[in-house]
Amino acid sequence: MEKVTYQYLGLMDYQQAWDYQKELMQAVIQRKLKNRHLSPDHPEFQQQQHYLLFCHHPPVYTLGKSGSSDNLLLNQNQLKQAGVSFYKINRGGDITYHGPGQVVGYPIFDLDLFFTDIHRYVRSLEEVIIRTLADYGIQGGRIKGFTGVWLEGTGGSDPNRKICAIGVHLSRWVTMHGFALNVNTNLKYFNNIIPCGIQDQDKTVTSMQQELGKKIDTEEVMAKLKYHFAQIFGFEFKNSTPTHPTASELGDPNKA
């Protein structure tokens, strides 16, 4: 069974988190390449490392490599006035928002040691979120043709609601980027973008707080996410850093 190192990074600037992901990804790739021609009992063989990072970001919009800048509805001056950063990044998908009240997860996994199927990987990430939502009585699911986790509406004034965005990048079957689950997120920030480039009138965004009508314990959500990750991917946690977010780390999601 594979071992995964869990790290809680707290409230971290997006660029800093992106750089850290790239650093870990390159280390995993280099270890993979070094091990390629070695047997497991060779003295230079090193057990592969996998990481699961959880964090929160100050307000930021990120645009995936297949996205359109037209889906950002603010110019540079407006972004500055709103106190929001903007990055074009190398994950799949279009534009989304990260900010306080969200749990952002970045798995750095060597899929050669799990399964080499990108569609299965994305579906597995969705399943982690679906099972976590189910622990709170929220019925999450999938909509054909749209990545992420959704709550199905009945139509009209009850639209389909996206509660978790997913975008990934792989190199040599090593993953980076991941998911953003809206827990206590200030949804007003989504008004400044066309989320994921989706303009359908029957689709919008939501959060766990919005659906349940109360603030959710983010630390508890992270613990449940960790459990379902281990169950679905079939690994054990090698070690963990404490998951005790402070109020300053979580930020104030309602501060626009």
- Judge whether 196 counts as a catalytic residue: yes
Which residues is 11 bridged to in the sheet? 56
Write the CATH number for 141: 3.30.930.10
pTM, 2 dp: 0.91
Residue 251 CA, distance from chain mean position: 18
Give yes or no for residue 88 having a pLDDT over 80: yes
- Residue 41 domain-assigned? yes
Pairing of strands 95-98, 235-240: unpaired
* Residue ranges of E strands in the chain: 2-11, 51-56, 60-63, 85-88, 95-98, 102-108, 141-143, 146-151, 160-171, 174-182, 203-205, 235-240
Is 249 inside any structural domain?
no
The number of domains in the chain is: 1
- The four Cα atoms 233, 11, 99, 182 give a dihedral, to 10 degrees, of 40
What is the DSSP-derived secondary structure letter of residue 66? T
pLDDT band at 84 (very low <50, low <70, confident <90, very high): very high
Cα 181 from Cα 130, distance rounded (Å): 11
- The residue annotated as part of the active site, out of 104, 181, 196, 225, is 196
Instruction: Say whether pLDDT at 110 is over 80.
Output: yes
Domain span at residue 98 reads: 2-242
Average the pLDDT over each of 55-59, 76-80, 91-95 and give the range with the smallest value.
91-95
Is residue 36 in a domain? yes
The whole-angstrom separation of Cα 214 and Cα 76 is 34
Q: What is the pLDDT of residues 181-225, one digit of tens each?
A: 999 999 999 999 887 777 777 889 999 999 999 999 999 999 999
